[in-house]
Amino acid sequence: MRVFGRLIIVGALAAALAGCAASPTDYRSQREVPEGPGMFSGGDGGFTVIRDGRPLGGADADADADADASPGDAEFREFQRFQAYQQWKETARETGEYEEFQDWLRWQEYRRWQESR
């Protein structure tokens, strides 16, 4: 028993000496925003969406373009966007993501059915 007690004391002293020899670390609160690029931002902190090498405009860019164009051009541009959407919708049906989405919809319907019973 005396040997076991001495081993504990020696181990505690070794741990204390090792702890004193360590260098301190800088404390960083988890509530602060970390430095550097984020998940959606680049190195400068900006958010950019790029398609085909060109930056995408949001709804504001579309509204500005429609305001500058004549009413016929705006309708034609809207029709082109609608055609592109229809084409995307048809091609997206054969993808795995679409099938997964359909499974999710069926699961949601099943859950509503279970809750209503």
Which phi and psi (to 5°) does residue 25 adopt? Answer: -110, 155
Counting Cα atoms < 13 Å in the Cβ hemisphere of 5 gives: 2
| Residue 32 belongs to some domain of the structure | no
Residue 90 lies in a domain: yes
Position 38 in a domain: no
Residue 108 is predicted with a pLDDT of 93
> In tens digits, what is the pLDDT along the chain, a chain of 117 residues?
688 889 999 999 988 888 776 777 777 788 887 777 777 666 666 666 665 555 555 555 555 555 566 777 888 999 999 998 888 878 877 778 888 888 999 999 999 999 998
Please give the pLDDT value at position 110.
Answer: 94
Q: What is the pLDDT of residue 24?
A: 75
Neighbours of 66 (CB within 10 A): 15
- Asked if residue 86 is part of any domain, the answer here is yes
- Which residues sit opposite 50 in a β-bridge? 55
Q: Is residue 107 part of a domain?
A: yes
CB 43 within 8 A of CB 37: yes
**Do the domain assignments include residue 4?**
no
Q: What is the pLDDT of residue 47?
A: 65
Is residue 91 one of the residues assigned to a domain? yes
Based on C-alpha coordinates, what's the Rg of the chain? 31
Q: Which domain holds residue 114?
A: 58-117
Quick check: is 45 in a domain?
no
Number of domains in the chain: 1
Round to whole Å and give the CA distance between 25 and 110: 53
Cα separation, 105 vs 113, whole angstroms: 12
